[in-house]
Amino acid sequence: MDFVDTESCREALTQTIGFTHQTQSVTNGVHVTQAFQCDANQVRASVSLKNLNPYPMQCVTRTEDAEHGAVVEAYGFARFEYGFQDATSYTCLTVGS
């Protein structure tokens, strides 16, 4: 699982005024791009997923108060958005596991 905390997002955005902080990684065969924008009391994230696997995957983000995510078909694309205040984690798993 990857972790993002609000403080480092705000620091990154402060250093790159006018730009959105973005991360990219590959988690269990899914290319995950997250773009972060920091509001006064929370971080807003827009997530783009590209499944590099020949089978469907489910990517889930857990925040302080909810779970958000999407199922990505084999070699498909998906998007979702979420917000958090302190920290979040995400993972991608084979559908049905």
The full set of domain ranges for the chain reads: 2-94
pLDDT of residue 87: 76
Which pLDDT tens digit goes with each residue over 38-92? Answer: 776 778 889 999 999 999 999 999 988 889 999 999 999 999 999 888 778 889 9
What is the CB neighbour count within 10 angstroms for residue 86?
11
Predicted confidence band of residue 4 (pLDDT cuts 50, 70, 90) = low
Q: Report the amino acid identity of residue 5.
A: D
Q: What is the pLDDT of residues 22-52, one digit of tens each?
A: 889 999 999 999 988 877 677 888 999 999 9
Q: What are phi and psi of 17, to 5 degrees?
A: -55, 130
Q: What is the pLDDT of residue 1?
A: 47
Q: Tell which wins on pLDDT, 14 or 22.
A: 22
Task: Indicate the DSSP class of residue 12.
Answer: H
Specify the pTM: 0.77
Q: What fold characterizes domain 2-94?
A: Immunoglobulin-like (2.60.40)
For residue 14, the Cα-to-chain-centroid distance in whole angstroms is 20
